[in-house]
Structure 1
Amino acid sequence: MKAVVYRGNGRIALEERPRPEIIDEKDAIIQVTLTTICSSDIHIRHGAVPRAVPGVILGHEFVGRVVETGSAVKKVKPGERVAVNVETFCGECYFCRRGFVNNCTDENGGWALGCRIDGGQAEYVRIPFADNGLTVIPDHVTDEQALFNGDILSTGYWAAKIGEIKPADTVAVIGAGPTGLCTMLCARLYTPAKIIAIDTDEYRLRLAKEKGLADMILVPGRDDPEEVIRKVTDGRGADTVFEVAGGGDTFQTAWKIARPNAVVVVVAMYEEPQTIPLPDMYGKNLVFKTGGVDGSFCQEIMDLTACGKLDTEFLITHRCSLEEIMEAYDVFENRKDHVIKYAVKIRG
């Protein structure tokens, strides 16, 4: 089968690989129908994810059809369409029992797919702990509507849930990329009075405004986010801040625009260490919450998608086949042609 393989030292390649097989009774084999490229794949490519294994098949955000299950798999069966959770988790360890599945202690636990074990930018993939990591897609939900269920939409949903948003709050989201847009979408579920989107990409900001995800958009350099947010909150600052950009100075922006006693959720994956200037923020009494995502809510997300409360199909700006994915990587990484997300077709 064809697959995108991480070769280390900034190299990826489309190669022929053997079709995976069941190796544990809790496994399932998925025939991938639609996959995508994530910014985390770019981080892996450039060596910013130390746990990533050279030779691994990339991809952790995809949907497909079950073709085979191990003897212990009970919740899914061959023929069913499924969305795949970015995380694999045993469901039984200390962390899993408390919902912290990102910290699953199994050797294949947490974010393993497309990082430490073969992922879904391929024609077939093996999913460990299939009963935990697969969500059945209702018949009326398309593959494109379900594509982001297990990763960026799960991330936005998790971030909004831990952000402690109250009705009529002011929420600021730094970063209007795919995950930032999903965070805004999910923050809307908590009925804040105002969502303020901050980014240097005006196209993405306009998209956030047009889709009703943001009420106000700010461009650093053109606008002063700290000054504007204080002005529209009677001098207080934002009640909840989501840092989804991971830029050189975006962490500093996040704590500066937060009001005293606010919650700052760090969703971004940084490539460089960040500085916490405790003397400067003394007295703000901020609560910081950090990633990665605990993908425990995929069924809730699928239910909300099925009833029309969550719709991420607008994120798909580009489409291609698996054979064209190398060009898609270039477009995605370099943000060409106003790309937001790719839908990479594998099979019908």
Structure 2
Amino acid sequence: MRANTWSGRNKVEVRDVPDPRILNRRDAIVRITSTAICGSDLHLVDGYIPTMQDGDVMGHEFMGEVVEVGAGVDPGRLRVGDRVVVPFPIACGACGACAAELYSCCENSNPNAGIAEKMFGHPVAGIFGYSHLTGGFAGGQAEYARVPFADVGPIKIESDLTDEQVLFLSDILPTGYMGAEMCDIRSSDVVAVWGAGPVGQFAMDSARLLGAAKVIAIDKEPYRLELAERAGHLPVNFEEVDVRSRLLELTGGRGPDKCIDAVGLEATHGSAHVAAYDRVKQAVRSETERPHALRQAILSCRSGGVVSVIGVYGGLLDKFPAGAWMNRSLTLRTGQCHVQRYMEPLLRRIENGELDPTRIITHTLPLEEADRGFELFKNKQDNCEKVVLKP
């Protein structure tokens, strides 16, 4: 089959790879009808996530049709012919973490848990197409994919909703929603979201859906801020204004009640000397992250507020503002999204017209043009917000 593969730092290549096959009784094989490029994929391409190997199949946002199931898959849950969306974390459904609906912390789905434990201090779940650190599972930017624990993960789509309406249930819509949910939003809250990429856009939409009085979008790309503004959110360009000062102006000097970091480890900063500091630290291998958004969120949040972190971090960072966090009674919440927990309720919201995931799609390309899709998305060319690939 054809698949988009990691070919070294800053390079992907669509090539022929072996067809997936059933390896365990609870596996399924899915013929992929739609897949997408995620901001997290750029961390792999940019070289920030270790243990990638030449030929690894990329992608963790995908959906399609079940074409084969293992003997252990309950036919009452999944059958050949079912149309499904597959969540990015692989979860067994039986361990302590899964019992607590902490699916991205599954204790049984990552065969390379020892590697992850050395890096994070504890094992993490398997993830499709996301390095051998998370299991080395082939991803979904391909014609077919093997789905382990298929009776736990995929959600069946039994309505006539288009792929584009439901594809993002695989990752970015639940991730954005979880970021807002972790904020415990009240009707009087001002919510500030760092990052107006796809996850940030969905965090904004979710914050409004959960009742926020005002949602502020922070980014530097005019087209992303315009997209947020069209959806009813207030834009702030961090290259044009001092973010903290502007947020204080917009909140009567108190700061936002809730702050969401939807950026993660490759953040940029409007101040050249601040940006240079973290690049130097990275160059000498004393930190792996550029935590500009996280620092700013903590320093900007009102006392007693919540900082929700859904941007991906992978290693170590410097100058964490622990004093501001502790002394001002801030609550810090974070985690890879427990997607399986949110798929069903968010599907209902899409069906009811409360959410429109299609609003962020700017480019649809054939799988064979995946390298062009990565170029557009990474370099923010042609106002690229989200790329959907069609095998």
5 Å matches for 1:41-80?
41-74=41-74, 75-80=77-82
- Structure 1 segments unaligned to the other structure (5+ residues): none
Instruction: Sort the Cα spacing of 1:4 and 1:236 in 2 relative to 1 into closer, same or farther, 3 A.
Output: same
Confirm whether residue 119 of structure 1 aligns to residue 134 of structure 2.
no
The SS at the match of 1:44 is helix
Selected match of 2:154 from 125, 131, 134: 134
Selected match of 1:157 from 177, 180, 190: 177
Q: CA deviation at 1:189?
A: 1.8
- Match for residue 324 of structure 1? 369
Q: CA deviation at 1:277?
A: 2.4
Q: CA deviation at 1:225?
A: 2.4
Selected match of 2:237 from 212, 219, 238: 219
- Match for residue 203 of structure 2? 183
Selected match of 1:243 from 261, 273, 276: 261
* Distance in 1 between residues matched to 2:381 and 2:198, nearest whole Å: 15
- Structure 2 segments unaligned to the other structure (5+ residues): 111-123, 131-135, 268-289
Selected match of 1:311 from 337, 350, 356: 356
Q: Which has the higher helix share?
A: 2
- Match for residue 299 of structure 1? 344
8 A contact 1:239–1:258 mirrored in 2: yes
Confirm whether residue 15 of structure 1 aligns to residue 18 of structure 2.
no
- Match for residue 280 of structure 2? none
* Distance in 2 between residues matched to 1:277 and 1:324, nearest whole Å: 42
* Distance in 2 between residues matched to 1:26 and 1:270, nearest whole Å: 31
TM-score by length of 2: 0.84
Selected match of 1:261 from 296, 304, 321: 304
8 A contact 2:27–2:149 mirrored in 1: yes
- Match for residue 87 of structure 1? 89
* Distance in 1 between residues matched to 2:262 and 2:10, nearest whole Å: 24
* 41-50 or 30-39: bigger deviation: 41-50
8 A contact 1:178–1:341 mirrored in 2: yes
* 193-202 or 322-331: bigger deviation: 322-331
The SS at the match of 2:47 is coil
Identity %: 36
8 A contact 2:309–2:332 mirrored in 1: yes
- Match for residue 26 of structure 2? 26
- Match for residue 110 of structure 1? 125
The CA deviation string for residues 36-68 of structure 1, in whole angstroms up to 9 with x for no partner, is: 111111111222122545432111001101111
8 A contact 2:138–2:146 mirrored in 1: yes
1:257 maps to amino acid: S
TM-score by length of 1: 0.94
The SS at the match of 1:308 is coil
